[in-house]
A = this chain, B = another copy of it.
Amino acid sequence: MSAPGDRDREEPVAAAAAEAALDEARRWWHTDIIDIHPGEIALRGYPIQELIGNVGFVDTIWLMLRGELPTPAQTALFESALVASVDHGPQAPSIAIARMATTCGVPVNGAMASAINVLDDIHGGPGQQCMELYLEIEAEVEQAGGVGEATRVVLQRHRHAGLRYVPGFGHRFHPLDPRTPRLLSLVDAAAADGVVDGRFAAIGRAVEGAISEGKPHRVPMNVDGVTAVIYCELGFTPALGRGVFILARSVGILAHAVEQMTQGGRIKGPMPKSIGYTYTGPARRSVPVEDDERRRTS
């Protein structure tokens, strides 16, 4: 209850409170990325109609993720890494999941979602982890007095911490990944042209050398290791590194989902029905009969 005069005095306060709450709400989704008004869309400040037809898709990916347009030479190097990562066969879990999902009645968005979701630390993370390793080595170079020594220091530190797997090196399948030498030659060319400074190519090679020492066979840089070189050279953060790998692999995921649609199939399991699975649990047994009303539901 309030005296007659109170209402007038309180109103400006209430109005201010409502305005403050509204302002907070408007700021809740604040962004540097996109500005939209009726009839207007701008990405990072650029009107969309100026970007369309003038700027490529890869340039736009860079603009959206980094805030500024890349140079053509940066785009070319970035693009080579994207092309290298689009697919690794129908039996990679992400791809197999997309294909199985399609036969369960899921449209492409759902098939892509279930598939992309599994590009986590193990299936989608080695590139990101390799970038983190390179950046850790790079931060050590000055104090260690060179790339070789910094690499030894950091690898030693990782071994002491119990890490036995160096992300980005070795492959269960390819003795030498055909993508690695090709991409490395593009990095070298870009370094020669001054597009990048070649620091991370040197670090990647130093890691390969260090972990191959004393081994009967070289442990070669794989596609994660070499794309990590490229993304580091181009200034991407490790989290963005995983992100752009996912953008690239989404292409393969989509292609396989659509091919499966064309092939047909309903509720496609991982193996043909003629090949069953092995049950390894308890032998057949009876539900214990108890004099207990709770367990019996009828």
Contact = CB atoms under 8 A, between A and B. Distances in A.
A269 B186 CA distance: 32
Nearest to A180: B49
B89 A277 contact: yes
Contact of A58 (B58, B118, B177, B247): B58
A107 to B, nearest CB: 6
A130 B39 CA distance: 22
A32 B123 CA distance: 23
Q: How many copies of this chain are found per oligomer?
A: 4
B282 A45 contact: yes
Contacts of A120: 101, 104-107, 109-110
Interface residues of A, number: 159
Given A49-B178, A89-B34, A116-B116, A55 B106 contact: no
* 6 smallest beta-carbon distances between A and B, as pairs: A15-B15, A270-B270, A105-B121, A105-B122, A32-B281, A113-B117
B83 A101 contact: no
A210 interface: no
Interface stretch (A92-100, A133-141, A142-150, A199-207): A92-100
A297 B53 contact: yes
Contact of A36 (B15, B103, B173): B173
A2 interface: no
Contact of A52 (B54, B60, B96, B179): B179
A180 B58 CA distance: 21
Nearest to A270: B270
A281 B31 contact: yes
A75 B105 contact: no
A18 B22 contact: yes
A80 B44 contact: no
A49 B50 CA distance: 34
Contacts of A22: 18, 21-22, 275
Given A84-B48, A242-B109, A284-B42, A91 B53 contact: no
